[in-house]
């Protein structure tokens, strides 16, 4: 197969920059079901139509309306003579019917999720204060000599001075200047 010339347009489409998809089979393409497979694509509209027709044939909407208004009756038991005891829908059933109609008629309301942290996040100042609080303990367990730590901290300070371009006095009133490397 001859190599194709890379153009900016075709290079942008590829999974790897500069390497376009090859014609035909390319393992980088998505898998998915084969065309015409039973699980390919959107569910057939005939299934939705069959569900709607079944609901209409059984007078589903009318049934829910009768439950809400309390007109629908249900058998709740049998008396001592063997006759059915009929009752109106309970309040729980009527509320469920109202909820069902509201959800399907107007759409389900969005679910709100409240996330409350038990401990709020620390600010930058609080984090720095905590680091400074723990620093002596950390330095005590480091396998480095205290003089080496002091030397490293002094080098860090010298780099900060160099970067900031400031003239800073040390604890004894002497100016600290960054000397150029020899």
Residue 12 has pLDDT above 60, yes or no: no
Residue 24 has pLDDT above 70, yes or no: yes
**Mind listing the pLDDT tens digit for each residue in 55-78?**
788 787 888 888 888 888 888 888
Picking from 101, 24, 47, the residue whose alpha carbon sits closest to that of residue 69 is: 101
Position 11 scores a pLDDT of 47
Q: Tell me the pLDDT band of 23, cut-offs 50, 70 and 90.
A: confident
The alpha carbon of 130 is separated from its chain's Cα centroid by a whole number of angstroms, namely 31
Distance CA 149, CA 156 (A): 11
Distance CA 54, CA 42 (A): 21
Instruction: List, in order, residues 6 or more apart from 170 with CB less than 8 Å away.
Output: 176
Of 38-47, 53-62, 134-143, the one with minimum mean pLDDT is 38-47
State the pairing for strand pair 74-78/84-87.
Answer: antiparallel
pTM exceeds 0.85 for this model: no
Picking from 32, 50, 49, 51, the residue whose alpha carbon sits closest to that of residue 41 is: 32
Position 179 scores a pLDDT of 56
Q: Tell me the pLDDT band of 173, cut-offs 50, 70 and 90.
A: low
Q: Is 166 in contact with 176 (CB distance < 8 Å)?
A: no
Of 5-19, 60-74, 99-113, the one with minimum mean pLDDT is 5-19
Distance CA 150, CA 156 (A): 10
């Amino acid at each position: 197969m001859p190599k194709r010339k890379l153009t900016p347009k075709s290079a942008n489409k590829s999974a790897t920059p500069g390497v376009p998809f090859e014609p035909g089979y390319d393992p980088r393409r998505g898998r998915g079901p084969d065309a015409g497979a039973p699980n390919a694509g959107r569910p057939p509209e005939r299934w939705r139509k069959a569900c709607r027709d079944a609901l209409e044939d059984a007078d589903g909407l009318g049934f829910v309306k009768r439950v809400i208004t309390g007109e629908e009756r249900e058998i709740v038991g049998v008396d001592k003579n063997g006759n059915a005891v009929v009752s109106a829908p309970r309040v729980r059933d009527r509320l469920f019917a109202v909820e069902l109609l509201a959800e399907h008629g107007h759409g389900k309301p969005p679910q709100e999720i409240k996330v409350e942290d038990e401990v709020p996040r620390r600010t930058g100042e609080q984090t720095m204060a905590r680091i400074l609080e723990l620093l002596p303990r950390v330095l005590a367990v480091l396998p480095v000599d205290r003089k080496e730590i002091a030397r490293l901290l002094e080098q860090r300070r010298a780099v900060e001075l160099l970067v900031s371009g400031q003239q800073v006095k040390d604890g004894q009133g002497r100016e600290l200047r960054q000397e150029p490397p020899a």
